[in-house]
Amino acid sequence: MFAINTRHTSIHRNQSGTLRQSRHHTWQGHLFIRDPEHLLPLLTPGAKVLDVGSGSGYTCAIFHHLVNPTGAEGGKVVGIDHISELVDWSIENLKRDNLGAHIESGAIKMVCGDGRLGYSPSGPYNVIHVGAASPTMPEPLIDQLAKPGRMFIPVGPDGGAQYIYQVDKDQSGNVKQEKLFGVRYVPLTEEKSQRAESVYY
């Protein structure tokens, strides 16, 4: 078993006052926590995981403990978010949870970038978890799935009907998409739009 201090990831302002509550979720692990059975079969020691819209880093910490329980060979988690302040905050949170050494070793990597494009330098990934709704199915993320690999992603327009899709790629590279259930998520969008919905100073 492992423990993660949610106090490190439940606040919405860091000590310097850089970050405030916004429409952008800073804790996006609730989807995986509510329905873990969809991803757990692939979250095995040694697996590679990409967390798109990684926010506070909470979900990355959970994924790390699952794929790298005792320094498992190859186990790696990459979190990516548009907002540099969130990326810096997530690194602080992970260090407070005694995961700083795993950041230094590369077992956990937090990236500031466009999550819609994934992060190919560390791919392919056995699991891709997306914490915001894409208006369409993002092909770059499908391309970065391993063989086999699975993506868990909300798809649908902002303010419209959105659904969680499970996207599976088999060992031959064949892709299957399955619509699971309806949700309501913030949009997976470019940095400018994301910042327009947030409050920073």
Q: What is the mean pLDDT, run by run of 10 residues, along the chain of 201 residues?
A: 45 39 42 73 95 92 91 86 92 94 95 96 96 94 98 92 96 97 82 57 27
Q: Hunting for tokens 């609730």 — which residue is that?
A: 30
Q: Which amino acid is at 170?
A: D
Measured at the CA of 181, the angle between CA 153 and CA 174, to 5 degrees, comes to 50
Q: How far is CA 11 from the centre of its chain?
A: 18
What pLDDT, on a 0 to 100 scale, did the predictor assign at position 19? 38
Residue 1 tokens, joined? 């078993």
Residue 99 tokens, joined? 């995961």
End-to-end CA distance of the chain: 39
> Which residues have C-beta within 8 Å of that of residue 111, sequence separation ≥ 6?
78, 79, 80, 81, 87, 119
What pLDDT, on a 0 to 100 scale, did the predictor assign at position 183? 86
CA separation for the pair 125, 49 (Å, rounded)? 5
Query: Please, are residues 163 and 183 in contact by the beta-carbon 8 Å criterion?
Result: yes
76-81 and 48-52 strand pairing: parallel
What pLDDT, on a 0 to 100 scale, did the predictor assign at position 34? 61
Has this prediction a pTM greater than 0.75? yes
> Which residues have C-beta within 8 Å of that of residue 16, sequence separation ≥ 6?
none
CA separation for the pair 86, 67 (Å, rounded)? 23
What pLDDT, on a 0 to 100 scale, did the predictor assign at position 126? 98
Q: From 91, 93, 88, 140, select the one nearest 114 (Cα to Cα).
A: 140
What pLDDT, on a 0 to 100 scale, did the predictor assign at position 191? 64
- Peptide bond just before 124 cis, omega within 30 deg: yes
Q: Hunting for tokens 């989807």 — which residue is that?
A: 31
Q: From 102, 31, 33, select the one nearest 68 (Cα to Cα).
A: 102
Pick the CATH number of 20-196 from 3.40.50.2300, 3.40.50.720, 3.20.20.220, 3.40.50.150: 3.40.50.150
